[in-house]
Each structure stands twice: as C-alpha cells, then as structure tokens.
Chains A and B, each alone.
Chain A
Amino acid sequence: MTTLTDPPKEQFRLSMLLYDTRYRSATIQVIALFGFMLLAAWIISNTIQNLEALGKPVEFGFFGEPASYDINQRLLEYSSRDSHLRAAFIGLLNTLVVAVLGCITATIVGVFVGVLRLSNNWLIARIMTVYVEMFRNVPVLLWIVLAMAILIEGLPAPNAFRGENPTATMDLFNSVAVTNRGVYIPEFLFTRSLGDIHFFGASSIRFDVSLDLLAFLIVLGGSIFAMRKVSANAAAKQEATGDRPTIWYIQLGILFVPMIVLMTALGLHLGYPELKGFNFKGGTHMRNSLIALWLALSLYTAAFIAEIVRAGILAISKGQTEAASALGLRSGRTMRLVILPQALRVIIPPMISNYLNLTKNSSLAIAVGYMDITGTLGGITMNQTGRELECVLLLMLVYLAISLSISGVMNWYNNSVKLVER
C-alpha cells in the first residue's frame, strides 16, 4: 500500500483558457486562425458568387480548347490547334530557359564583379563600382526595354546581308549571323541520329527526349566517373610513395576519346544558318527578345550578386589571407582555395533570394514580346478567353512551384557547403 498520495489533480475549467497564462496564447491563436479562415472563406465565396452573377463561373474547361494563336519560340512542337494548356506549357519552358540562362550568367558575372570590386587596382575597382551602382539603381524593366531597343535599332536587318554588296556580313567564318531579329548560330546535327523517345502520348505536356543527348550525357557521366577514379588512384599512390604519377594525358584521353567515338558514330556535323527567303534558315535562332531579356536580367541581378559576394569575402577575417600568404599561396589561389569556400556560407542564402527574384522578374518578358508563361497563360490565353481569375490563379501556382523548387535545390546545396560544427 502506498502512503503517499499524488497531489490533487487540478481540474480543467473552461475559464482557464482565458485566465491561465499556460493556455491563453493558444486560445488567442486559435481564435485568430478561425477569424482568418472565416474571412478567407467569405472572400472566396463572395468572389465565386459575384463571378457567377456576372455569368462567369469559375471553371477550367477552357484549357482544353484550341489556343488558336502561334508562339514563336517553342522548345517542343506546338501549333495553333493545340490546347491552351499546351500553350501554357510551352510558355513555362520558355520561362525556365530564360531563368536558368539568367541565373548562370548572373552568377558568373556577379562573382567576377564582386571579386574585382575588391581589387587593389584602383581603376578596375572603380569601374566595377560604377557597374554595380548603375545596374542596381535603375529598374530592370528599363534595362530590358533598352537592351531590346539597342538590338532592334543597332543591328542590321536580314535584308542587309543580301545582294551583291551586302552592308552586313556573317561573323566567325560565315557561321554566325547577328541580325536585329536575333542571333543565328550553328546547330549540332546528326546524320545517324538515334531518334527521340516520346513521353505522355498526345497530352498537353507531351515531350520528346533526344536519344543522342541521352547518349552524350551517359558517355560524359561515365568519363567523369572514370577520371575521378584515376585521380583518386593517383592520390593514393602519392600518399603511399610520395610520388604523384603524371595522369593528365590519361585524363584527357578518358574525357575525349569516348566522346569522339560516339560523335563520329552518330555522324555529328554542324548546321549553318543561311539566308533563305525572308530570314535566315537553319542553325539555332536566339530571338532578340530572349537575348534582351537574358542580358538585362543577368546584368541587373549580377549587380546584386556582386555585392553579396563582396560582403561574403569581407566577412572572412584578414587573418585567413595572411595565413595563406604565410604558407606561400599566391593571391589568386588564396581567393580560390581559402577565401571563397568560406565565404560561400555567407553568400548562398542571399543568393537564393536573388535567383528567385530573377525568375520572378522574368515575367517582365512581355515588355519585349518574349512568350514566357506570363505571355501565354497570363497574356494571350487570359485575354482571348476572359478567364482572368482562373489564369491568374494557375499562374501564381506555377511561379510558386518554380520558386519553391529553386529554394529547395539551393537549400540542399547550402546544407552541403555549410560549416560542419562539432
């Protein structure tokens, strides 16, 4: 038998929800949440009712109807008979193209400018400062429009390449045509192509994957894997014997020989642009709307990235540089091997938000007629069908998904370079 009794268990009374500090904050939060949901529900039902009264009930059936308009830049096949959903998908790919190109270019330019801004060379440092201030302080829309105006007004029309005495000629041994409709560059063609595999049958998100590309990636991956193996072997040998075997020619061989064999097997050759009829035909056409948008977005975002990089570098204490110098590292290597890897930890998080900004800013594409998802789904489709609510909701969802994916990937990368503390 126990002689000790538990302290009397406190009875829960309703009033405690309000007067007991242990429960009060929870009560308030629940009430606030409830109120917020009520408000949201009211707004949604009100919108739906009013749209109903207008005779425009919310429904998504129109996405299956033929879009009836053409899109100039399409990575997949598309015709005006395809559905609005297909048009949105083509637009989405265009958004991704400019976002990826933009993020890569912005990062490269940004890192260079950020590092050079700290240069001891007065002139270079000043020029970089001017660059950063100029791009950071003018709205990106203006840069986009300016870039487009320069491309249109400054470059020759395809017409100028014609005739006996053309006023314009192609560059790089007649392989690149720079016109005011875009830049035409040679494209890779295969005489013995492996063909494509088709996904998703005839649906709106159907796409093809080129087996040639797949083969290229597999061979490249294999080569890189083998190169790593060889280099690890060399390192092991160095550990054991103190001698590092010369492996650079083996490495080069591993990288290039399988690739050359594959490319010869596929019959790789270049397709050059040629002036035919009204326009250049053949080659890859990079429209000036893409170039203008890409340039303006990357240069603009690079200015922000440069500042982040500079801040990251300055955050590493001077002692690190001095220690590296004491070990005999030259300044370039100090930067590459000592400072940047540490600075990355400071740099990555704000970098994520710049990538997100660039991606969202790409919706300004419409200013130069680049057919991204805002131009297709949020532009022509919305305009021709009058389904504003549906289109905008879907558009928001798409940008949300893109942004969350970018954050996800970048956070994963951030975690992998993060300082592992013991």
Chain B
Amino acid sequence: MKKSVILGAATIAGLAAGAAMAGTVDDVKARGKLNCGVTTGLVGFAAPDANGEWKGFDVAVCRAVAAAVLGDASAVEFVPTTGKTRFTALASGEIDMLARNTTWTFSRDVDLKFEFVGVNYYDGQGFMVPKALGVSSAKELDGATVCIQTGTTTELNLADFFRSNNISYEPVPIETNAEAQQQYLAGACDVYTTDASGLAATRATFENPGDHVLLPEIISKEPLGPLVRHGDHEWGDVVRWTLNAMVSAEELGVTSANIDEMSAGTDNPEVNRLLGSEGTLGEMLGLDAQWAMRAIKAGGNYGEVFAQNIGEETPIGLARGLNAQWTDGGLLYSPPFR
C-alpha cells in the first residue's frame, strides 16, 4: 500500500519533471518516429483504413511533420486519444503533438499550457437528428435527449445554448465517437451534437446517411488545429510552419504533381524559398533545405489533402467554405515564407 503511494507520487513528480523538458525536435529525431495523438477513429479525419493504415485530414498533418523532420511520412506512431485523455497524453510527453479535431480556446492555450500552432479546419458545433423526427431547428429541441462526447468544448457550448434559449435537455455523456454513433443509431438519444465536420464525417459512415439531417444552427466557433506543449518553441515552430507550408503550397500553386519540377527552381522566389532551392529557411528551423518539399509531398498541399479526405468528392462531402484560401474568400491565410 505504502509502496504504491510512493510509486504514484513518483509518477506524478516524474510527469511534472518530464513535461518541463524541452528539445522535442531532438527527441523525435533520436527516436526516429513521431508520436502523434489522433482520434480513436473518425473517418475522414483520422481512422485506420482496411489495411490498418491511418488515413485522414488530421493524420495528414502528422505525416507532413514526420516527413519534414524525419524524411519519412510513415515514421509516425499514431496514438488514439479520447476527448478526455488527449491533453494528459500531450502534457505527459506520451505524444509529441496532437492533431485531433481540437478546438483552440483561451483556457487550453493559457491555462492548460498548450500551444496551438494554427488552424487546419474552421468549424462550429452543429446538431444531427433523424429526418423522421421532423425537427427543423435546434430551438425545437426542448426536452430532447442529446448525445455528447465528454471532455470537449461541445458539452460546454451545449449547456450554454440550451440555457440561453431557455429550453431543457437530457445530456448523455459518451467517451468516443463510435459509442455516440451506436447510441444515436439505436435511438437512445434524439440528437447527436459535435463539430459540424465531425457530424458530416460520422453521418457518412451510416448505412442510410440520407435519413439524417444537420440542423441549420451552428452554435459556436470551433477553430480546430494541431497543438504542442507550451514552452518548447523550436518544436512549436516546426509544426506551425509545416502546417503553413501546406497552406502556402496551395496558395502558390504547388501540388504533389508539379512539386518535383518546381523544386528545381522557379521564377517565383517565394516558391523557391518554400521548396529550398533558395535561402536558408530550413536551416533556421533546425532542419534541412528540403523539409517543406517533403512535407508537401507526403500528402499534397492543403487543398489536395482536403479534397482527398473530406472534400466534396468524398462521401463526407464538406465544402471548403471558411476553409478556402483567403484569395477565394475563405479564412486560410498563411504568413509569408520570407
């Protein structure tokens, strides 16, 4: 008994000591593998395919970082995390970065001591109901039973929404998306609520997606992005600029089809700086000149990754909307590579 108390306390002390450590770039290089926290399975964002290979929009960010740092997009250890375990996993050093539909909020950034390196999907919380229920607005949901994932911003927004509209509901807290889906389909709840992108992705896996509708209300802002531990700025820079490289590549017209040709040198100096034929950006980051080229090659630029995993051609069928480049009226706006 006494022993386990000591061990327990020692673990907490160890965790605390471990988290304060810097030098993640070196750790990842020495390990030869990137530990990336993802969802437990949300097709389109992060889920293993039939061959057991992780695929998805968030997975692509992990692979791009691995390609940039290690030169190998497959050198990633994917660690499935739930809404509740994700932050502990990151804080304790079990994972190097988290790419799991995670909303950038003040308290997560400031109080939980994480660093959001950017936004890879601008989202908002929505509601999904069976068509047969005949509901056309979230305001009609008085008295409904609502499935929510715990440990998320979702449960907080939900409480606020129903409170401010003066209607009641019965929350059913659930750990993972898969369980929520099961309960929702069995009719144990009337409504499933989470990020609208997650709803679309979940609905796409249903047998009859057409039997379910997303209600028009979007009740929150959910800027989803990858994050790292607070305090290790070198590592934060690597992940941030890898994401920016994917976004910039789309803006600059660099695609996986033309990247080999372009990396030899083009007339556009920014493309040259990005792909390493000019300047020393890679070196400043503590990597080599081709880091961004490899990152983009791993799965394509932002637009390609989007189209492949969650875009309108896929069963999930999300439109670019807010996630279009700023030049197309969206919010994607990478700082310049200079």
Contacts and interface: CB of A to CB of B under 8 A. Distances in A.
Interface of A: 36, 39-40, 43-44, 46-47, 50-51, 53-56, 68-72, 79-81, 152-153, 157-160, 180-181, 276-279, 281, 288-289, 366-367, 369, 371, 375, 379-380, 383-386, 388-389
A371 B12 CA distance: 26
Contacts of A278: 141, 143-145, 190
**Per DSSP, are chain A's interface residues mostly helix, strand or loop, or mixed?**
helix
Contact of B158 (A40, A70, A366): A70
Contact of B150 (A53, A159, A369, A389): A369
A369 B173 contact: yes
A80 B188 contact: no
A147 B81 CA distance: 25
B interface, over-half SS = mixed
A47 B159 contact: no
Given A366-B175, A379-B84, A279 B160 contact: no
Interface stretch (B13-21, B34-42, B237-245): B13-21
Interface string B112-132: 110000000000000000001
Given A54-B19, A54-B20, A279-B143, A68 B160 contact: yes
Interface in B133-164: 141-145, 150-151, 155-156, 158-160, 162-163
Contacts of B6: 39-40, 43
A39 B113 CA distance: 29
B174 to A, nearest CB: 6
A68 B88 CA distance: 21
A380 B151 contact: yes
Contacts of B113: 54-56, 386
A276 B155 CA distance: 25
B155 A389 contact: no
B39 to A, nearest CB: 16
Contact of A386 (B112, B132, B170, B186): B112
A375 B173 contact: yes
B170 A279 contact: yes
B183 interface: yes
6 contacts: A69-B159, A159-B187, A180-B187, A277-B143, A278-B141, A375-B173
Contacts of B112: 386
B16 A50 contact: yes
A379 B150 contact: yes
B322 interface: no
Given A36-B2, A40-B6, A152-B186, 7 more contacts: A40-B9, A69-B155, A70-B169, A278-B145, A380-B150, A380-B155, A383-B87
B80 interface: no
Contact of B111 (A72, A152, A369, A386): A386
Contacts of A279: 143-145, 170
Contacts of A56: 113
A79 B168 CA distance: 11
Nearest to B182: A152
Nearest to A145: B179
A152 B171 CA distance: 15
B172 interface: yes
Contacts of B319: none
Contacts of B252: none
A58 to B, nearest CB: 11
B213 to A, nearest CB: 16
B143 A153 contact: no
Nearest to A375: B173
Contacts of A379: 84, 150-151
B151 A43 contact: no
A50 B20 contact: yes
